[in-house]
Every structure is written in C-alpha cells, then in structure tokens.
Structure 1
Amino acid sequence: MVRLIVNRLLLSVVLVVISSLAIFFLMSLVPGDPARTILGANATPDSIERLRQQLGLNEPLLSQYGTWFAGVLRGDFGQSVFTGDPVVALILSRLQVTLSLILLSTLVIAVLGATLGLLSAVRGGVLGKLLDAVSLVGLALPSYWVAIVLVALFAVTIRIFPATGYTVLTDDPGRWLLSLILPVAALSLGGVTIVAKQMRDSALDVLARDYIRVLRATGVRESSIVFKHVLRNAALPSLTVVGLTVVGALTGAVFVENVFVLPGLGTLVTQATTSHDLPVVLGVGVFFTLFVIIVNLAIDLLYGALNPKVRVR
C-alpha cells in the first residue's frame, strides 16, 4: 500500500506537467489579448505593446511556460493579470464553495445510489424497472439543464430554495445547506442513477452465486446476507463508478456554479478564460488535476480496505 501511494505521488508530478502544458498551449489558441482587454478599446498600439512586454506576453510560449513552471517549483503560482491578486489566494478564497458542492454531491451519489441499487436488487419488480427508466433520463439530461429546471420550479415558481448565492458555513449552517440543495441535486442526478444501476447489477451477480444459496439454506438471516456479503462484494465495482462520477462532477460544477452564481472555482475559471487570465486558468487547472489524483488514490485505498487481495498486491 505504501508503494501504491509513492507511485501515485510520482505520477502526480507527471500529470501536473502534462495538464499544465496542455492548458497553456490551448489557451494560446483562444482569441483575445489580455493587454488590449486591460487597457480598453481606446488604448494606443504603443501602450498595448508596452503592457505586453511588462506581462511577458512577447516572449516565446515555451519561455513563458518555463517562467511559470519555475515559479510553481518555488510555490509561486503567479498573479492574476487583471486584479494583481496572487493566484493561490484567489483559489483559496473560492475553494470552500467548490469543495462543499463536490463533497456533498459525492455523499449523495454514493449513499443514495448504493441504497437505491441495493433495494432494487433485493426487491426487484417495479423498483427495478423504475430504476432503469430513471437511469436513462439521468444519463440523457446534462447537469446545467437540470439546474435551470430546478431553479425555475423550486426557486421561481414555488420559491422554496434560493435561486442564486452562497452562504458561508460558519456564518449560518442552515442557510449554507439551503443554498446548496438545488446545486447538489442538479450535480448529483446523473451520478446517482449510474451508481444505482451499477450497484444493482453487481448485487444481482452476487445474489446469484452458490455461497449465497448455501447461506440461505443454512438459515442465515436475509438482512445478514445482504449487508455482510452482498453489499461488501457489490461495493467493489461500484467504487470505480463513484470515482468516475466524482471526477465528472468537476466539469459539471463549472456549469452549475455559473447557473446558481456560486462564487466557486467554476465561476473563477470561466471568468479567467473569458478574459484570457492565463495564470488563474493554470492555477485552477493544476488544482483540478491534483483533485483527480487524490480521488483516484482514495478509491484505490478503499479497494484495499474492502478487498485484502488488493493490499497484498
């Protein structure tokens, strides 16, 4: 297990370099000039050229990337081109919003998805058919469309939840939770249906095995079979699906945060991309890459906790 963690940490360095390079060169293809945007439409060519030199935009792309990466090795992710604020400070100021949205969505996806899938496998019948239908709907509907519908229904028509905004957890826990219910619901719908379907299929496979029939024949209670044997074995393949849905939730969070006007990393990177604020885009990109690495490592560790054979390897 220690070897696994060390390998993941070494791999994370490679992934950060590759992802940051990809972001850097893709951003260079985006139309727009930060210097012209900062100075405005009435700026003279000379003033634009001077600002480009000050920002280092006249240097070759590899040279610009090398300068940025050298700063990262020193712990300096640079400053926003427009506000002058350190990139790390901008990310930390919005980190709570995005983490709250992702972690709550992960909890809903894992718990609700596993529960629905297990119930569907054990009970079957109408619940199984309903789960199949809902799974198709959940996969077909994008999170931003679900978010817009939820706002129209529960914030505009019925007015149960706030349509926009975010309350800090320490200021008012109740309003914090209330401000995240609709965003979490929009972000979790697809993941819940995917995990539920995977859990049901895995549980049905376990229920069909010979040792389950032996346990039933010997008089073991059904609840003990379900929770001690079926759930433990069916959870292994479902963990992979949970990990994939959490990683996919990062992309969904960008759209959901913009729909609900949440001051998170999604809205930050959207604004930075629109204004061609490269240091901010790179900083958020590195954070997202590290988040994906941490999620994958957590899934591997959970595999080891549930399956001793993985720990041996």
Structure 2
Amino acid sequence: MLTYLARRLAFAVTTVLAASVVSFLLVHASSGSPGAITAGAGATPAQVAAENHRLGWDQPLVTQYLTWLGHAASGNFGVSLIDGHDIWSDLMARLPVTASIAVFATLLSGVFGVLIGVAAAVRGGLADRTVTVGSGVALSLPQFWIGILLVYLIAIKAHLLPATGYVAFSASPSQYLQSLALPVITLTITGTAIIARTTRTGMISALRQEHIRTLHALGTPPWRIRYVHALRFAAAPVVSVLGIQFIALFGGSVIIEQLFALPGLGQAAQNAIGTNDFPAVQGVVVIATVVVVITNLVLDLVLAAIDPRVRTA
C-alpha cells in the first residue's frame, strides 16, 4: 500500500507542475502583456516596455517560470493587474464558495442516487422503468435551464429561497445554507440521475453473483445483503463516478456561479480571462489543479481500499 501511495503522490506532484507549466506558456502565448494593462490604454510603447521590464516580463521564460514557481510554492501568486488585490487572498476567499457547492451537490447526489439505484435494481418492473426514464429526462436537461426554472418557481413565485447572492457561514449559518440551496439542488438533480444509473447497473450485476445467492440461502437479512454485501460489490464504479462528478462540478462551476451570482473560483476565472489578468489566470489554474489532484488521490486510495486489485494496476 505504501508503494502504491508513493506512486500516486509522485504522479500528483508531476501533474501540478505540468499544469503550472502549461498555464504559464499559454499566458505568454496570448496576445498582450501585463505592461500594456498596467500602463493603461493610452500608454506609449516606451511606457509599456518600461512596465514589462518592471514586472520582469522581458526576462527569459525559464527565469520567469522558476521565479513564479518559487513564489507560488510559498502562497504568493502576486497581485492583480486590474485592482492590485492580493491574488492568493482573493482566491482563498472564493475557494469555499465553489467547494461548498461541489461538496454538497456531490454528497446529495451520492445519497439520493444510491438509494434510487438500489431500489430500481431490487424492485425491478415499474420502479426500474420509472428510474430509467426519469434519469434520462434529468440528464437531457441543461443545468442552467434547471436553475432558471428553480429560480422562477422557488425564489420568485414561492419566495422560499433567495434567487442570487452568497452569505458566508461565519456571518449566518442559516443564510449560508439558504444561499447555496438553489445552486446545489440544480446540480444535484443531474448528479443524482448519473449515480442512480450507475448504482442500478452495478447492483443488478451484484445481485446475480453466486455469493449473494448463498447469503440468501443462509437466511441473511435482505437489507444486509443489499446495503452491505451487494452494494460493496457495486461500490467501485459508483465511487469513481462520484469523484469524477466532484471534479466536474468544481472545475465547471462558471455557469452556475454566474446564474446565481456566487463569488466563486469560476467567476474569478471568467473575470481574469476577460480582463487579461495574467497572474490571476495562473493562480486559478494552479488552485483548481491542486484540488483536482487531491480529489483524484483520495479517490484512488478509496478505490484501493474497496478493491485491492487496483493497487497492482
């Protein structure tokens, strides 16, 4: 297990470094320069060149990258070219927003998806067909359309939850949950459909296994057969899909954050790209990559615990 963990850690570090190199090169390959942004629209070429020299933009790429990497490793991503704010502090303030949405949506999707998928596999018949059709409909609906519909029905018509905005947990726990409710429900609907289908398929295969039939013959309680033995047999693909879903929610939250006016990393990425705020773009990429890599590492360890064969793959 230690050898497997060492391999995964080495791969994680390599992935983060590769992502930082790619983002660094893409920033330098884009049109414009930080000096042109800080000097202003009416700056002369000489003024732009002076700003680029001050910012170190005219140094060799290797020197620039190593300097940036050393600062980034200590949590210093520089300051924004647009407003001069510290990028690390800004991203750390936004990280809990995106993380909260992704975590809550993934957890709820896992709970409801597993329960629905197990029920469909065990009951079969009408229940199975209903889950199959319902999940297909949920997967066919765009998430932004689901969000707009929920805002109209729950926020505007029923006045049950706020349509937009975010309240920090430290300010008010109840308002924090209310501000996240609609975006989380929006993402949970699609996520539940994916997990339900995956669980249903895995459970149908698990219930046909010989050891499950033996447990039935020995008089093992049905609930224990379903939720302990069969579900553990079907757990590996479900865990994999949950991990992928969290990564997708964390990295693809731009539309949801814009729809519900949430100050998360997705909104920060869009603003940084739209304004050519190069240091902020690199900071967002690195933070997102680190979260994704950590998620993959945890996912690999969970899968290795569930199925020891994974360790030798």
Give TM-score scaled by structure 2 length.
0.90
Question: What is the distance in 1 between the residues matched to 2:32 and 2:259?
Answer: 25
What's the CA shift string for 1:102-158, capped at 9, x where partnerless? 111121121111111111111122222222223323333333333233223322333
Aligned residues of 1:187 and 1:253 also touching (Cα < 8 A): no
User: Alpha-carbon deviation of 1:75?
Assistant: 4.4
Deviates more, 1:152-161 or 1:226-235: 152-161
Structure 1 counterpart of 2:192: 192
Structure 2 counterpart of 1:124: 124
Over 3 Å counting, the alpha-carbon distance change for 1:71 and 1:115 in structure 2 is same
- The aligned runs of 1:1-313 (5 Å cut-off) are 1-59=1-59, 61-308=61-308, 310=310
Question: What is the distance in 2 between the residues matched to 1:309 and 1:15?
Answer: 24
User: Alpha-carbon deviation of 1:31?
Assistant: 4.5
Question: What is the distance in 1 between the residues matched to 2:186 and 2:278?
Answer: 29
Unaligned runs of 5+ in 2: none
Aligned residues of 2:23 and 2:285 also touching (Cα < 8 A): yes
Give TM-score scaled by structure 1 length.
0.90
Question: What is the distance in 2 between the residues matched to 1:65 and 1:141?
Answer: 43
What's the CA shift string for 1:149-171, capped at 9, x where partnerless? 32233223333211111111122
What's the CA shift string for 1:35-63, capped at 9, x where partnerless? 44444433444433332332233445454
Question: What is the distance in 2 between the residues matched to 1:50 and 1:197?
Answer: 59
User: Alpha-carbon deviation of 1:175?
Assistant: 1.0
Question: What is the distance in 1 between the residues matched to 2:149 and 2:30?
Answer: 31
User: Alpha-carbon deviation of 1:70?
Assistant: 3.3
Aligned residues of 1:187 and 1:252 also touching (Cα < 8 A): no
Question: What is the distance in 1 between the residues matched to 2:255 and 2:192?
Answer: 18
SS for the counterpart of 1:164 is coil
What letter is aligned with 2:259?
V
Over 3 Å counting, the alpha-carbon distance change for 1:311 and 1:95 in structure 2 is same
